Amino acid sequence: MDRRDFLIQAGTMALLQLVAGCNSQDKQKLQVQSLKGSIPAQLLGQFKANLKQPANLEFAPVEQLATAFDLLKSWQQPKVNNSSPWQLPAIPLINPPAPDVADLLTLGDFRLKEAIAQKLIQPLEITDLSQWQNLPSRWQELVRRNAQGEVDINGQIWAAPYRWGNTVIAYNRKKFESLGWTPTNWSDLWREELRSRISLPNQPREVIGLTLKKLGYSYNSQNLQQVSQLADQLKTLHQQVKFYSSDRYMEPLILGDTWLAVGWSSDVIPVIQRYQEIAAIVPQSGSAIWADVWVSPTKSPVNKLLAKQWIDFCWLPQSQKQISILSKALSPIEIDINPTDVQEGLRNLLLVKSETFAQSEFLLPLPKETMQQYKSLWQAMKL
């Protein structure tokens, strides 16, 4: 999001809060905390205009998904009143008050298991929404979980996905001109020309997962010991890597210290928009999928009607189109987007081919035994 878009969104949100404050006693209330930049500002005004009854709408941005998860945990803690007659009052700028429990909050799908198991969120009753049936079964299955947070087709619905993206390969066009080729798939990471020229996220699930994908296995394979080539392939890949980081992996690529980086489309797209020499692709054999979803905190005084209306509104084709184009992500519900509405350099990331999506995978919860195998392989890889 550039400065102009940010100012528009901030101004729209402020105006909504001001208007919402009038006659609030006669209105229903909905509090939503969304990941910053994931919901276009104009969508909030359109939702308010479409409501048939007056409502007090409070929308606030959350800087990062990690912050959202921290909010869930803080809301679960009991409030302790340690005030005394001798205690000085809190100073707002130094000791800002904790935000009220939201009715809906953005969460990353990879945190669903943990949030459910720790009882930080509650199930959603959304099967009666007009757009639920338009949500492909693959997405419905993702958010159906048991009480432990494991995927269960007979489980309750714990979240509502509203946008998604991929793990992608970003590369420096100028550096690759001398090579005479550009990356198209995971196997390209092992090419000799890229030795010590790659930056990767410091994430075992992503790195070991893409190696499994390269070998023809699933990201969610549970018995890694059966993949005979995996350990050797990881050691070879490690020789290709110059830099590991989960939040700064794009910096070496921008500076030219690395020629290729693997990362999440939400991080890569802003870089492509700013630096013309950077391009990116979704690997042909498929990739990992991340998703932003709406969840309801356990202690939320949720207004079920308004919350359900907001979720359904986000799933409308016209809303999904705005979310996709303006927040630079993809829609879980099939919509028609004119390629000319998308920046040329982003089309292969935001208009992903159906066959590529079919081969891509969510990073699903794995058994403890499998996660121990991941830990052992990760440690051995870097020796």
pLDDT at 1 exceeding the cut of 90 = no
> Of the candidates 202, 152, 139, 199, which has an alpha carbon nearest to the alpha carbon of residue 330?
139
Residues 348, 201 contacting (CB under 8 angstroms): no
Reported confidence tier of residue 28, pLDDT bands at 50, 70, 90 = confident
pLDDT at 86 exceeding the cut of 90 = no
pLDDT of residue 81: 52
Work out the average pLDDT over 21-46: 83
Residue range(s) in the chain whose domain bears CATH number 3.40.190.10: 3-79+99-164+290-344, 167-289+365-381
Residues 6+ apart with CB under 8 A from 245: 199, 201, 202
pLDDT at 82 exceeding the cut of 60 = no
Q: What is the pLDDT of residues 233-292, one digit of tens each?
A: 999 999 999 999 999 999 999 999 999 999 999 999 999 999 999 999 999 999 999 999
Q: What's the whole-number average pLDDT of the chain?
A: 90
pLDDT of residue 92: 45
Q: Is domain 167-289+365-381 in CATH 3.40.50.10070, yes or no?
A: no
Residues 273, 267 contacting (CB under 8 angstroms): no
Report the C-alpha gap between 184 and 284 in whole angstroms. 6
The CATH code that applies to domain 3-79+99-164+290-344 is 3.40.190.10
pLDDT of residue 94: 44
CA 21 remoteness from chain centre? 31
Q: b/e string for 342-378 if b means 16 or more Cβ within 10 A? A: beeebebbbebeeebbeebbbbbbbeeebeebbeebb
Percent of the chain past pLDDT 90, that is, above it, reads: 83
